[in-house]
Amino acid sequence: MIGHSESCAMEVLSSSVTLGRVFDCVAKENPTTLKIASLAALDRIAKHNADLAQTIVTASELPYIVCLLSSTHTNIKVQRGALALIRDIVRHCLSLSENAIEADLFPTILVLMGSPDELVRNEAAKVVGEMVKQSVQISQLVVNAGGIAALMNVIKLSKEHCCLPAVIAIGYIAISSPLLASVIIQSDVLLPLNGILENDDDEFLKAGVIWALGLIGKHSCEHSRAVCTTGNVVCIMTEILPTNAKARRSFILDGHLKRIQQYSPAPDTEMYKILQGINCCFPEDIVQRATGDFPESVMQTVDKYQPKSNCVFYSRHPKSNELNNSDNSSHEEEATFE
């Protein structure tokens, strides 16, 4: 019922007795299944809007929900439910994120990124991602508390797409300020991100990594140079961009297509071939007026564009070069990325 609409949820919450009973199911010594169901009910309410989420916070139960995370006796599934609820509270606005901070969410949330349970790590990273995009101050708080190392831990421990929330959180921290982007670079985050581009088969995850790298390098030429010189990222781009429409979109919007036009390598050099391979992934008119600021109608043409079949895409793998040179007309299913 409460999940159907805001009005239904509001009607349920109009009775403080109802909300109090749901909290009692979470707080008291009840069966684990009842706690999980109660947390899920609160989560469905919080998802609707900031006002409903604030109603839950105003009931003064957020500190207890946070305590569920830190207790060594809490069931793993209860932890997952509590994290999902906190995530859907803080996602709405800065004040709700500040409420979570006041409830002593840190450093507990960072500790959970080292949990042996992959879904707990995943949910913890999602919470941080929702919070850091709210303000520079929260991003700075996360960094000061050791958040970069915790997010890197999620990336190293998780398999495939389960590390995507940590990648997204790093991207949001990076875009907060040039200083925080520099901290990320100095924290050796680029190497594991580069490892995903080199070794992972998940195109959706790769698109997320490219998005994050774009935000890290967006601030200045120095930031961009650090991204491009770590682990042959530019070379890897030439392998991903031809078949990944979302990655191409991010590459333009983050200003990287414009930035590489500023390089003037000598013809017949390896870097010249790499940059030509990247340019071949985009319509000529887009390359010529690359600004990073195109209307959606133009970006849709980029999404549908198929790189020229006569382009030679650079690859670090000889076999891949043979495939690229022989046939660029077929494309894998394009990944989408939020």
Please report whether residue 95 resides in a domain: yes
Residues 184 and 263 in one domain: no
Distance CA 197, CA 168 (A): 15
Q: Which one of 75, 103, 131 terminates a domain?
A: 103
The boundaries of the domain holding residue 245 are 232-338
**Spatial CA neighbour of 287 closest among 336, 251, 311, 313:** 251
Please give the average per-residue pLDDT across 257-279, as a whole number.
Answer: 79
Q: What confidence score (pLDDT) does residue 7 get?
A: 62
Interatomic CA distance for residues 30 and 39, integer angstroms: 13
Examine residue 207 and state whether it is found in any structural domain, yes or no.
Answer: no
User: What is the model's pLDDT at position 142?
Assistant: 96
Work out the pLDDT band at 133, boundaries 50, 70, 90: very high
Buried b (16+ CB within 10 A) or exposed e, 66-87: bebbeeeeeeebbbbbbbbbbb
**DSSP annotation string for 197-256:** HHH---HHHHHHHHHHHHHHHSS-HHHHHHHHTSTTHHHHHHHHGGG-HHHHHHHHHTTH
Number of domains in the chain: 3
| Pair 95, 3 in one domain | yes
Whether residue 208 lies inside any domain: the answer is no
> Average pLDDT of 223-234?
74
The two three-digit tokens of residue 229, written as one number: 């010189």
pLDDT of residue 109: 95
263 and 243 co-located in one domain? yes
| Residue 179, domain CATH | 1.25.10.10
pLDDT in tens, 16-54: 556 677 777 777 777 888 889 989 988 988 888 998 888
Of 28-37, 184-193, 314-323, which range is least confident?
314-323
CA distances from 85 to 3, 56, 57, 197 (A): 13, 10, 11, 32
